[in-house]
Structure 1
Amino acid sequence: MAENVTEILIKASDGSEDAYNRLFFVVYDQLKNIAEQQMNYENPDHTFSRTDLVHEVFIKMVDKNRIDWKNRTHFYGVAAICMKQLLVDYARKKLAQKRGGDYSRQTYIDELIPAASEAKKIITLDSSLKKLEEFDQRMAQVVDYRFFGGLTIKETAELLNVSANTVKRDWAKARGFLLKELEQEL
């Protein structure tokens, strides 16, 4: 019988070490699906695996000061945002290395961004998302949850506490905004 993710998250939020230990195994497949979606937009020549991204994100999420997990959708939404942040951080790192920067810390995803041009695209996307967030924070959240997290319209609506139609409108407007921004930048 599959364990209820929301129940485990609540127990983990209450400090249960047993719940934290079970959590990874219960959410692993879905995290891997989210990672696969995000990796589909990366250069196919990289040597980084989806498994590495899942492990890196889980470590990052567990190390955060106890987040008050609302439910499974909230958890996966946060996971998607963490994955996006990791990809952007490593893109910046690759660009810095191109410019002579030297980082000694090694992690699972050091080989994620194989070329400076790919890193620049990811950083440009992140910059465009920040502009969108300044314009309309909810639309930026819709992009994070739909594009990076692979959440459905219904799940995104639940997480943002809005109607599915509102998410559909925000999703369409956000895509138009980002397309315009990216055309100007790239």
Structure 2
Amino acid sequence: MTQAPSADVARLLEALRGGDAAALDALVPLLYDELRTLAHRQRRRWVGDDTLDTTALVHETYLKLADRHGASWETRAHFMAAAAQAMRHVLINYARDRRTRKRGGASVRVPLDSVEAQEGEADEEEELLLALDTALRELERANARQGRIVECRFFAGMSIAETALALGVSTASVSRGWALAQVRLYEAVRRELRR
């Protein structure tokens, strides 16, 4: 993966902050490889329906980012953190839609003997993803910074230093926040999955 020249990215981010909506259309192709890597990482993490592949996740993320009128991202890391957050929302919405369809929404009759064993694994992954989202929302209400740290570290795969840069805090703050957030999320996910 090659990174787009920092000067080009900085210029386009500046144009976006200045209100140039077309700058996003120029920025995304420059960061497309990085966005695909991020999406691929997310797709590997969650088993499920293959209709939402890496490319589809990147495109859905672009639509979410384009819909954020007036968004201003300061740096490449800040933009990638926002992209990770958008990917999280796309994946969560996708899992919720699948669960709704399975539980009666747009139901289709299927003989029980035709259901594959793999569906159970996908269902467990969806439940885990939804439990994580619920736990993360709870964490964000209790401590917004820790929620952002989780998005950067877990969803975007950023290092401690990259997360600190994206959030404008020290690496020590990120390290402490990440350790505390992991404990809180672990307990909250366990609690959610027992329901």
User: TM over 0.5, yes or no?
Assistant: yes
How much has 1:44 moved relative to structure 2? Answer: 6.5
Change in 2 beyond 3 A, CA 1:101/1:45: closer
Partner residue of 2:14 out of 7, 10, 15: 10
Paired with 1:44 and 1:130, the residues of 2 have a C-alpha distance of 22
Paired with 1:17 and 1:86, the residues of 2 have a C-alpha distance of 22
Residues 44-77 of structure 1 show CA distances to partners (whole Å, capped at 9, x for unaligned) of: 6734321111111012211221312212111111
Equivalent residue, structure 1, for 2:175: 168
Residue 33 of structure 1 aligns to which amino acid in structure 2?
T
Paired with 2:126 and 2:38, the residues of 1 have a C-alpha distance of 20
Number of aligned pairs?
176
Q: What percentage of residue pairs aligned between the two structures are identical?
A: 35
Which runs of 5 or more structure 1 residues have no equivalent in the other structure?
Answer: 104-113
TM-score (normalizing by structure 1): 0.84
Indicate the structure (1 or 2) with the bigger Cα radius of gyration: 2
Paired with 2:51 and 2:75, the residues of 1 have a C-alpha distance of 33
Residues 112-131 of structure 1 show CA distances to partners (whole Å, capped at 9, x for unaligned) of: xx643332221111011111
Which runs of 5 or more structure 2 residues have no equivalent in the other structure?
Answer: 108-118
Residue 98 of structure 2 aligns to which amino acid in structure 1?
K
Residues 58-115 of structure 1 show CA distances to partners (whole Å, capped at 9, x for unaligned) of: 1221122131221211111110000000111111111111121239xxxxxxxxxx64
Residue 40 of structure 2 aligns to which amino acid in structure 1?
E
CA contact (8 A) 1:35 1:53 kept: yes
Paired with 2:48 and 2:89, the residues of 1 have a C-alpha distance of 20
CA contact (8 A) 2:16 2:72 kept: no
**Is 1:56 aligned to residue 63 of structure 2?**
no
CA contact (8 A) 1:98 1:116 kept: no
TM-score (normalizing by structure 2): 0.81
Mapping for residues 63-74 of structure 1, pairs under 5 Å: 63-74=67-78
CA contact (8 A) 1:80 1:149 kept: yes
What is the root-mean-square deviation in Å for CA atoms of aligned residues? Answer: 2.2
Residue 166 of structure 2 aligns to which amino acid in structure 1?
L
